[in-house]
Amino acid sequence: MDMVATQNFRSVDRLLEKPAPQAAQQLEKLGPGAARVLLRHQISEQNRWYFETWGATEVAIGAALLLVLIFGSSETNFSLLLALLMLLIAIVQRFALTPHIVFLGRIIDWVPVDQPSPERARFWMLHHAFAGLELLNWALGFSLTAKLLFRSRRRSVDRDAELA
C-alpha cells in the first residue's frame, strides 16, 4: 500500500509535467498551484479508500487465519498467539488509526505544505505509528510462517522415519 500511495502522488507530478493537450487546457484554467492541490486531494481520497479497504481485508484475512489455526490444525499456543497478535494489530490499524489518519488527511490536503500545522504533525505521528505496526505485523507474519513451515517439515521427517 505504501508503494501504491507513493506512486499515486508521483503521478500528479508526472501529469503536471507532461499533460495531455486537452488536460493542459483545463490545468491552465486552474493555474499550476491550484491544479496540483486539487489533483493531490483526489489522489489522497483514492489512497484513503485503498487504506480503508485494505485494512478491512487484512482484518478478514487475519480472522480467517486464526480460525483455521484454531479449528483446522493442531498448532501450539505460540502459533495461535502470533496469529492473534497479528489480528489485533490489524484491528488497531483499521479501527483506531486509519479513521484518524483519514480525518486529519482531509484537513491537511488544503493546508499549504510550507505552513506549520498541528494537524499535519499529528497526521505524521499517526502515520508513523501505523507504519511501525505494519512492520511489526510483517515480522510476526514471517515468524508464524517460519514456525509453520519448520513444524510441517519436522512432521514429514518424523513420518519418514516411522516408515523406514
Rounded to whole angstroms, how far apart are CA atoms 51 and 45? Answer: 10
Domain limits, the chain: 2-163
Biggest CA pair distance of the chain: 80
What lies within 8 Å, CB to CB, of 143 at 6+ separation is: 82
Sorting pLDDT into bands at 50, 70 and 90, what band is 153? Answer: low
Torsion of CA 27, 32, 37, 43, to 10 degrees: 50
Residue type present at position 107: I
Q: Is the pLDDT of residue 162 over 70?
A: no
3-state secondary structure of 72: coil
Positive or negative, the CA dihedral 32, 36, 39, 41 is negative
Calculate the average pLDDT of the chain: 91
Nearest of 62, 54, 66 to residue 98 by alpha carbon: 54
pLDDT digits (tens, 9 = 90+) for 37-89: 999 999 999 999 999 999 999 999 999 999 999 999 888 899 999 999 999 99
Cell numbers placing 125: 505521528
Task: List C-alpha distances in Å: 18 to 25, 28, 62, 141.
Answer: 12, 13, 42, 42
Confidence of residue 116 (pLDDT cuts 50, 70, 90): very high
- Phi and psi dihedrals of 70, rounded to 5? -70, -50
Residue 157 has pLDDT above 60, yes or no: no
Q: What is the pLDDT of residue 145?
A: 95
| Predicted TM-score of the model (pTM) | 0.84
